[in-house]
């Protein structure tokens, strides 16, 4: 088997959306966050050219492969099938077009751990690592004869489909467990108390811009939680740490709003907001300007506010567009069922207990999914490298 630079078997970024495209042309735009290792996740933004971000320029066709060249640690790689061939892709992707290689094999070749590890190794930058298309094209891939490529692709199509089906089944179990909990929670709030405008019971706090020169410290007085920190291990549902920390003097210099313990935290913009995560501040902290926080102004239990806020669909409250966002005004118009402080504590205790039970079940399912995905990745790498007999 011969190893050759990627650029010898695939062209990179052949097609681009014309800058003179009519402003009212509808587009289906795919951003980096919509892609995982081998899959495209919904939703795909449907916007006009005028509404689309300036990075919505890459074009791809059936059989191409998209590879993220920014935030390369995300390992965002996916094949472009017929259902995606009319999409416009972020310039954060490199679009690979197979020239002297089987299209399906090309996708598996760039999904191997060997290739993705090399992409990460050649990336430049700390907080926003990226690789340029030239360096990407220089990474070597194994290229067996065409007949062998088809065998490998066929074998992996079958085996990864089996693994993906198991992952889907586990995810359905996760969803069912959460839906049962959500139905119980929503039923409790329906009769919890008389509805009042959120603006009368809570205040909305905005996050703070975080200049690069202050980033990179792993200790300090306050965690500076970015949106990505909401998904860090140990931060769900209570945020107690972050990748970056600052001192109180730096917070003062930045004129940062310190978010108090007990606040409800969530993203306010983009794909992160659309996934509807909620977190509870387990200590004083600072959040970035892509997030908002709600703090009680009336006497009550912050946990009650957190559980109620988890019932709110932020997407329904957001401004539409390529980058949807939630505003302070839209949040203040929401109506929260307001119970007595004692009743709030009782409800919060019940929901804490139920949420903890669901979390145990979800944790077991997530571990099972992680093992299946590791198996999938190892299988792809072994088959492409020739360490697994695929027949022939």
Q: In 191-313, which ranges are continuous DSSP H helix?
A: 248-253, 270-274, 302-309
Q: Yes or no: say if 163 and 380 are a contact pair by the CB < 8 Å rule.
A: no
- In this prediction, residue 89 carries a pLDDT of 92
Q: Kindly state the DSSP code that residue 228 receives in the 8-state scheme.
A: G
323 with 247, same domain: the answer is yes
Q: What is the CATH number of the domain that holds 223?
A: 3.90.220.20
Domain termination site, one of 143, 169, 186: 143
Please indicate, yes or no, if residue 173 is contained in any of the structural domains: no
Q: What is the span of the domain harbouring residue 284?
A: 194-338
Give the H/E segment covering residue 162.
helix 146-190
Query: Hey, what are 126's tokens?
Result: 């700390």
Q: Yes or no: say if 243 and 217 are a contact pair by the CB < 8 Å rule.
A: no
pLDDT interval class at 157 (50, 70, 90): very high
pLDDT of 276 strictly over 90: no
9 with 113, same domain: the answer is yes
Q: What angle do CA 254, 258, 264 make, to 5 degrees?
A: 135
Please indicate, yes or no, if residue 54 is contained in any of the structural domains: yes
Number of domains in the chain: 2
- In this prediction, residue 390 carries a pLDDT of 85
Give the H/E segment covering residue 260.
none
Please indicate, yes or no, if residue 319 is contained in any of the structural domains: yes
- d(CA 158, CA 91) in angstroms, rounded, equals 32
- d(CA 192, CA 196) in angstroms, rounded, equals 12
229 with 321, same domain: the answer is yes
pLDDT tens figures, 74-115: 888 999 999 888 999 999 999 999 999 999 999 999 999 999
- In this prediction, residue 392 carries a pLDDT of 62
| Mean per-residue pLDDT over the chain, rounded | 93
- In this prediction, residue 320 carries a pLDDT of 78
Query: How many H helices and E strands in the chain?
Result: 10, 23
C-alpha of 46 from chain center:
18
pLDDT of 163 strictly over 80: yes
pLDDT more than 70, % of the chain: 98
pLDDT of 57 strictly over 60: yes
**C-alpha pair distances (Å), 228 with each of 70, 128, 340, 358:** 15, 12, 35, 23
126 with 211, same domain: the answer is no
**C-alpha pair distances (Å), 110 with each of 20, 139, 326:** 33, 10, 37
CA-wise closest residue to 195 among 306, 75, 338 = 338
pLDDT of 2 strictly over 60: yes
208 with 329, same domain: the answer is yes
C-alpha of 85 from chain center:
23
Query: Hey, what are 55's tokens?
Result: 């990075």
What are the residues whose beta carbons fall under 8 Å from the beta carbon of 141, sequence distance 6 or more?
A: 3, 4, 5, 6, 9, 106, 109, 110, 115
pLDDT tens figures, 184-239: 999 999 999 999 999 999 999 999 999 999 999 999 999 999 999 998 877 789 99
Q: What angle do CA 246, 247, 250 make, to 5 degrees?
A: 85
Domain termination site, one of 290, 308, 338: 338
pLDDT more than 90, % of the chain: 83
Question: Which residues sit opposite 36 in a β-bridge?
Answer: 39
Instruction: Please tell me whether residue 92 adopts helix, strand or coil conformation.
Output: coil
215 with 104, same domain: the answer is no
The backbone region for 190, taken as left when phi is positive above 0, alpha when psi lies in -120 to 50, beta otherwise, is alpha
pLDDT tens figures, 175-185: 999 999 999 99
Please indicate, yes or no, if residue 186 is contained in any of the structural domains: no
- In this prediction, residue 99 carries a pLDDT of 95
Domain termination site, one of 318, 338, 358: 338
Residue 242 CB-half CA count within 13 A: 27
Please indicate, yes or no, if residue 382 is contained in any of the structural domains: no
pLDDT tens figures, 4-52: 999 999 999 999 999 999 999 999 998 887 777 667 775 577 889 998 8
- In this prediction, residue 274 carries a pLDDT of 85
Q: Kindly state the DSSP code that residue 310 receives in the 8-state scheme.
A: T
Please indicate, yes or no, if residue 381 is contained in any of the structural domains: no
- In this prediction, residue 37 carries a pLDDT of 67
Please indicate, yes or no, if residue 272 is contained in any of the structural domains: yes
Parallel/antiparallel/unpaired status of strands 279-281 and 238-239: parallel
Question: Which residues sit opposite 39 in a β-bridge?
Answer: 36
Please indicate, yes or no, if residue 268 is contained in any of the structural domains: yes
Buried b (16+ CB within 10 A) or exposed e, 131-155: bebeebbebebbbbeeebbebbbbb
């Amino acid at each position: 088997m011969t190893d050759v630079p990627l650029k010898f078997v695939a062209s990179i970024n052949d097609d681009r959306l014309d800058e003179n495209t009519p402003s009212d042309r509808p587009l289906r735009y795919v951003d980096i966050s919509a892609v995982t290792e081998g899959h495209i996740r919904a939703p795909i933004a449907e916007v006009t050219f005028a509404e689309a971000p300036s990075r919505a320029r890459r074009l791809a066709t059936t059989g191409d492969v998209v590879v993220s060249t920014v935030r390369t640690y995300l390992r965002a790689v996916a094949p472009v099938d017929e259902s995606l061939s009319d999409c416009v892709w972020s310039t954060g992707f490199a679009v690979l077009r197979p020239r002297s290689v089987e299209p399906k094999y090309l996708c598996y070749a760039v999904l191997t751990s060997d290739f993705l590890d090399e992409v990460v190794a050649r990336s430049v930058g700390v907080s926003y690592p990226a690789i340029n298309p030239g360096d990407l094209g220089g990474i070597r891939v194994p290229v067996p004869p065409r007949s062998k490529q088809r065998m490998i692709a066929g074998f992996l199509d079958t085996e990864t489909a089996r693994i993906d089906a198991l992952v889907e089944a586990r995810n359905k179990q996760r969803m069912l467990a959460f839906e049962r909990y959500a139905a119980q929670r929503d039923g409790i709030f329906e009769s919890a108390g008389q509805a009042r405008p959120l603006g009368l019971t809570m205040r909305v706090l905005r996050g703070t811009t975080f200049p690069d020169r202050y980033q990179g410290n792993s200790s300090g007085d306050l965690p500076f939680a970015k949106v990505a920190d909401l998904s860090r291990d140990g931060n769900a549902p209570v945020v107690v740490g972050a990748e970056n920390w600052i001192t109180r003097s730096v917070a003062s210099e930045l004129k940062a709003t310190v978010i108090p313990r007990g606040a409800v935290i969530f993203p306010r913009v983009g794909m992160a907001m659309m996934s509807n995560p909620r977190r509870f501040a387990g200590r004083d902290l600072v959040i970035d300007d892509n997030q908002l926080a709600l703090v009680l102004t009336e006497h009550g239990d912050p946990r009650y506010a957190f559980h109620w806020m988890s019932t709110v669909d932020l997407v329904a409250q957001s401004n539409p567009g390529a980058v949807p966002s939630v505003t302070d005004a839209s949040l203040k118009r929401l109506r929260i069922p307001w119970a007595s402080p004692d009743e709030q504590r009782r409800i919060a205790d019940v929901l804490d207990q139920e949420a903890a039970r669901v979390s145990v079940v979800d944790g077991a399912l997530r571990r099972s999914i992680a093992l299946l995905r590791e198996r999938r990745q190892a299988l792809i790498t072994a088959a492409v490298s020739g360490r697994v007999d695929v027949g022939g």
